[in-house]
Amino acid sequence: MSGSTSSSYRSYFQYTQLPKRWIRLLRIHDCFSQLDGRPPPGRSELHEGISITIENHDISSCPPYIALSYTWGEPTQVPDPTLRVFTQVLRCYPIRCEGRLLLVSRNLRDGLRRLRRRQENNKINPGMYSHSTLKKWADLSGGEPELYWIDAICINQVDLDERAAQVALMGSIYKQATACLVWLGEHDEHTGSAMNTMLKFWNDIRTKKLPTHLPTLEQGRILQTKAQELSNLPKAEYQAFAILLSRTWFSRLWIIQEVVLASVVWVQCGQFFFDFESLLNLGGLLTFTRAFKTAGVQQAAVLQQLVMDVSPDAYSFTNTPMLLSQLASTRDKLLHGKKDDFIEISRLVGGSRATEPRDRIYAILAITAEFDTELDQAHAITPDYRCPIDQVFTDAVKAVARRRKDLSFLLLVSDQRWKTVPALPSWCPDFSCGKMGLPFRMAYEPLKNLSLFNKDVAHIEFCDKLLRVDGIRYDVIGRIPKRSLHESSDQPIGGLLELALHSGIDLVESLDALWRAILMDELNMLTPVPAVASLFSPALFLWLLTTVSTEDGATARQRAEAITRESETVRRVVQEFRRHQPRTSVLLPSESTVRSIQVRLRNAPSTMTTEELNKACDGFLHDELQMAVVNAKRTGVEPELKELIKWDSPIPHVRYEDVAKCFKTVYLPTIQGRFPRLSIYSTESGQLGGVRELVVPGDEIWVLHGLEYPVILRPKEGGVYSFCGGTYIQGDLRFVNFQARKSDCSPDSAVRRISIE
């Protein structure tokens, strides 16, 4: 910065203290106020310095304003490295605030420039927006400078007390805003193509809101048509679309509350401006089709080539459609006076990013039913950035338990190894780690209705960091599979098959329980999965074999060696199954296929490439999927298989192509979403189950009063327990045993009051 420029800033801007329930609003000034209303000659007004003034207003009587939703950091996943040549400081771009210096981030400065340009265009030519979405915006200001609320400027971020007070008002700020503007950052060479793609998919359904649940016949027809178009997108368009949906705004935590509470939301990306409803409808379209999920699986390798140079996570954008669909649902509920509950909101924001861990709670206060201050003013959570993080999290959980009078918060607890806040008790979710517990789609309906406990309402106590509840011990974990050789947390398929072999129950039932446990008995919203789906179990087991875990950075040859080693275990266990029970053959990979894997990969050259290895594994999978077609016809279940596949148009008979498509577009997304995060175990009574936590023999399965799902607890010294996680158990829980245990005199059989630390 030149000396003359530096002298124009008398000093840094100094904030004054705000009265209680007051907010600041800012005005952006034109970069030309003279020159007959024209920009300075020889220079674009877009790049002129920003000048603003700040006004203080009582939030209950403030004038109309627009609230900005944006990301403080870089707007794209991988920013231009030349932008960080001289500094790594985020807020280092100067603007003038009432003649003094105020530093903002580059992305915010760019957003302020775009806002100013639109104001100036509207002032010079008020009618230029008469035939566009921008006319609505232009009408708000009548050509005058608009008022904005922007957190980085309107909140004194270094004053923790003010910051907490303003965060407590955030819900009201966005509710009262005339509109919310989403600023995605400056456009790039891909944005125009992405915009065209988005409009192409949205225009046909813009007059038809997508359903909250299952689509009607007509809407379903439109969705199927658009899904087919999506799957046929040229690579360049696919890349552009992926890059737009990968922008960092979509991963920011605070945006959930901002766009959900605002009555009107628009989006701007550089020079492009559009209605937020188009994004929400597009998210709904993609969520209701298999095409986008298919793209995330079948085209993973392609996406790595298309997007990896732009985004470190090649297909992270596949999360965005679900986010948009959920945002649309949450907005719709709020319009009808209903808020999502804590579990729903926590899962919605679980993968979002926040630099301040406490914001994991504070950012959802205004949109979560359990935190509604109108219903419980006495126990309202007040933001406090001086409060220890573990206390913020535990206080939130206690508030939820007090309001709900149940233990549903336990389902949010993730693997204890992922926790980043060491002082947290085992029963409290670590909201900062970005990982929530496994979703359980199948409720144990009998567990809801069966009277296991004498009280209707769960008696839940919190004693410092102890959780005291009533429960019945259901079973004990007896066996777990052996782990991979390199001490990975993954469970190799050989170990899983051995677990089923030694479960102590009928071997056909054991294998059936195994593939269902891997899928958690849910497939494409079908629960339980139809029996005909067992035709895919050989391909499922084989796929798990060919994707056996290896160390990070392993070469194709090293992967081939790991598959070869694991295939020896699989071959031996398959032989044992067939020797003891020949009827298990249709549920297992064929011995000839396993031998082919061993021969082909054992003799693989050291120069084998990943592409060659993947091609070989696809060939092995092809053989097993071919057998699924043969077995369907041989056993007379082809009609049931056709119903399971159920593509857009009727098929006269099941072909290999149909089976392969079903496996890749339905099975693989389900498996990849849950496995290998799911740890499979067998109980002492012979049932198979799955849990996200690493469990050990001796861990106990409990049913707790106030929770509809069984959980795993680990006995500790002093008679207390550590919480391991909610668990899925394949098959029906044996409720007759519960009733027997209630009348049994032994201590382990009765309802007990236990403490979880």
| Tens digits of residue pLDDT in 232-286 | 677 777 777 778 888 889 989 999 999 999 999 999 999 988 888 888 877 776 6
Strands 66-69 and 179-185: parallel
* Confidence band for 42, pLDDT divided at 50, 70 and 90: very low
CA distance 715 to 701: 11
Amino acid identity for residue 178 in this structure: T
The proportion of the chain whose per-residue pLDDT surpasses 90, expressed as a percent, equals 33
Q: What is the C-alpha to C-alpha distance for residues 320 and 326, in angstroms, rounded to an integer?
A: 10
pLDDT of residue 552 exceeding 70, the answer is no
Instruction: For the chain, give the percent of residues with pLDDT over 70.
Output: 73
Q: How far apart are CA 207 and CA 196, in angstroms?
A: 18
Q: How many Cβ atoms sit within 10 Å of the Cβ of residue 162?
A: 15
Each residue's pLDDT tens digit, 426-452? 999 998 876 666 555 544 554 555 555
pLDDT at 738 over 60: no
Q: What is the per-residue pLDDT for 230?
A: 64
Q: How far apart are CA 150 and CA 95, in angstroms?
A: 14
Structure tokens at 356: 């301040």
In this model, does residue 316 exceed pLDDT 80? no
Q: Any idea how long the chain is?
A: 757
Closest by Cα among 621, 625, 608 to 546: 621
Which residue has better confidence, 317 or 627? Answer: 627
What is the pLDDT averaged over residues 707-733? 88
More confident residue, 130 or 672: 672
Lowest-confidence segment of 27-31, 619-623, 648-652 by average pLDDT: 648-652
pLDDT of residue 199: 75
Provide the pLDDT for residue 454.
55
Across the chain, what does the average pLDDT equal? 79
Considering 238-247, 462-471, 522-531, 642-651, the range whose residues carry the highest mean pLDDT is 462-471
Q: And the tokens for 81? A: 């490295």
Q: How confident is the model at residue 188 (pLDDT cuts 50, 70, 90)?
A: confident
Q: Round to whole Å and give the CA distance between 529 and 520.
A: 9
Q: What pLDDT band is residue 485 in, cutting at 50, 70 and 90?
A: very low
The widest CA-to-CA distance across the chain, in whole angstroms, is 94
Higher pLDDT, 83 or 35: 83
> Integer distance in angstroms from the first to the last C-alpha of the chain?
57
Residue type (1 letter), 300: A
Residue 35: is its pLDDT beyond 50?
no
